[in-house]
Structure 1
Amino acid sequence: MTTIAVIHTGPVTVQPIKEQISEQIPEARVINIIDDSLLADVRTAGHLTPEVASRINSYMSNAQAMHADIILNACSSVGEAVDYVRHFVTTPIVKIDEAMAEEASSIGRRIGVVATVSTTLEPTVRLIKKKAAELGRTIDVTERIAEGAFEALLSGDAAKHDEIVKGTISALTEQVDVVVLAQASMARLVPQLQGVRIPVLSSPQSGVAALKRALANMR
């Protein structure tokens, strides 16, 4: 049986990723490793810190010790730590947002990125620019923070979170060719955006699809 270890920085990414793995890789066994202090520490510092990167390394090393076949990093805020961890962990690691960034870069020149926290927005923008450069594409990125949405979600007001994020997306659609939702926790909004005239990309579906491709390439 294939074993997938998923590293989370909070509980909100567990369910959407679980659903995608159940749909796309139903035979897999999933180990969820959750530390909600990671994102809190990144937000306090305003950026990824060496201490957080070291803890990510520790969790991924533990996943390797558990004999996981592959590791999925579920949080864009700490995604850049994976580039460091890959020097020390031999188990293949997939970033949840890498396939989404590549898809966005291939769709259009004007890319909008929406996040509810700046610590996710900035690394997502850097990843999109990196993927665009790899594809030889010239892009313009427009960044938006959905102010107050993250705090609403933390307080348990999911409806308020959703309305703030949808309003931010709606205001951005006239300016860009594609919108990227920078956090996996925002993916559940996609079915509510059917009237939006441009593609809105979220990471769980494409991230797990990339995970499935990586597993196939290992066989």
Structure 2
Amino acid sequence: MSALLLHTAQVHVATFDRLRDEIAPGLALRHVVRPGWLTEARQGQTEGLDARIAELATEAQAAGQSFLCSCTTLGPLVERQGGLRIDRPMMQAAARIGGRILLAHALDSTRGPSLDLLGSLTDARSQIRALAIPGAWPLFEAGETARFHAYIAGAIRADLAARGADVVVLAQASMADAAPLLEDLGLPVLSAPRQAMLALATRE
């Protein structure tokens, strides 16, 4: 039992190792970290990315490994190669809850893929509202993760106070640790890494 995980930030390695130890201790993980690939995707340079992602997918298949990408921006490219995009299990859970869905994201490049996926899974009764939190991302890039998560939680609280929601979706894996800061809200706050690891364990 093994899986190849593609990340665009080193911090996700520890996150998924921890979740693996908790959820699927028999699952061997091989991590590949490519920070520059997110930069390319944000600049619209996807032709070369498609080829490199296809190579990783082929490596994983040859080794009998599942293939997961923890970057929401790269998710659609990975899914086209038969891999698992990190946000699909989370979006499926949000669609099951339905109603007023608040989709929070810290990168503009995440907005389109996230809205497209969630929109494809929800029915006409659901109302999806995107909340951009661009001021948070420089904190993540600077390694100030505690401030990053606090900033996200504060922005979500302010939005909910004004407009409410039935479920909150944290679009990016990097945002996951904002969820515990919102536990007192009394509504589901969904993050991607845990549910993606559950899906990986099921695939295996």
Could you tell me how far 1:160 is from its partner in structure 2?
Answer: 2.6
Match of 2:169 in 1: 180
2: CA distance, partners of 1:126 / 1:140:
13
- Aligned residue for 1:168? 155
Deviation at 1:186, TM superposition (A): 1.2
Determine if contact 2:3/2:27 at 8 Å carries over to the other structure. Answer: yes
Work out whether residues 4 and 30 of structure 1, in 8 Å CA contact, stay in contact via their aligned partners in 2: yes
Question: Normalization by structure 1: what TM-score?
Answer: 0.85
Name the counterpart of 1:71.
Answer: 67
Instruction: State the distance in 2 between where 1:162 and 1:84 align.
Output: 31
Is the contact between residue 115 and residue 144 of structure 1 (CA under 8 Å) also seen in structure 2?
Answer: yes
> Which stretch shifts more, 138-147 or 95-104?
138-147
Alignment match, 2:189: 200
Check conservation: 2:68, 2:86, Cα contact below 8 A: yes
Unaligned runs of 5+ in 2: none
AA at the equivalent of 1:214: R
Shift of 1:137: 5.1
Say whether the 8 Å CA contact 1:16–1:187 is kept in structure 2.
no
Helix, strand or coil at the partner of 2:6: strand
> How far did 1:24 drift?
0.8
Q: Is the counterpart of residue 53 in structure 1 residue 80 in structure 2?
A: no
Equivalence for 1:149: 136
The residue aligned with 1:89 is none
Give 1:147 deviation, angstroms.
2.1
Aligned to 1:128: 118
* Greater Cα offset, 26-35 or 4-13: 4-13
Q: Deviations over 1:132-178 (max 9, x none)?
A: 2xxx4532211111122111111122233122201121123243211
Paired letter, 2:102? G
Question: May I ask how many residue pairs the two structures share in their alignment?
Answer: 202
Shift of 1:203: 0.6
Q: 1:22 to 1:137 in 2, by over 3 A?
A: farther
- Counterpart of 1:8 in structure 2 is 7
User: What percentage of aligned pairs have identical amino acids?
Assistant: 28
Which residue of structure 2 lines up, in the alignment, with residue 20 of structure 1? 19
How far has the Cα of 1:193 moved from its partner? Answer: 1.5
Kindly indicate whether residue 137 of structure 2 is the aligned counterpart of residue 117 of structure 1.
Answer: no
SS of 1:76 mapped into structure 2: coil
Runs of 4 or more off by more than 6 Å in structure 1?
A: none
TM (norm. structure 2) is 0.91
Structure 1 residues 137 and 210, CA gap change in structure 2 (3 angstroms): farther
Query: Equivalent residue of 2:79, what SS?
Result: helix
| 1:90 equivalent in structure 2 | none
| TM-superposition CA deviations, 1:160-207 (whole Å, max 9, x none) | 312220112112324321110011111122222221222100011111
**Cα distance in structure 2, aligned partners of 1:39 and 1:172:** 28
Q: Give the 3 Å change call, closer, same or farther, for CA 25–44 of structure 1 in structure 2.
A: same
Q: Alpha carbon RMSD of aligned pairs, Å?
A: 1.7
2:192 and 2:79 mapped to 1: Cα distance?
18
SS at match of 2:73: helix
Deviation at 1:21, TM superposition (A): 1.3
Is the Cα–Cα contact under 8 Å of residues 115 and 145 in structure 1 kept in the other structure?
Answer: yes
| Long gaps (5+) in structure 1 | 87-92
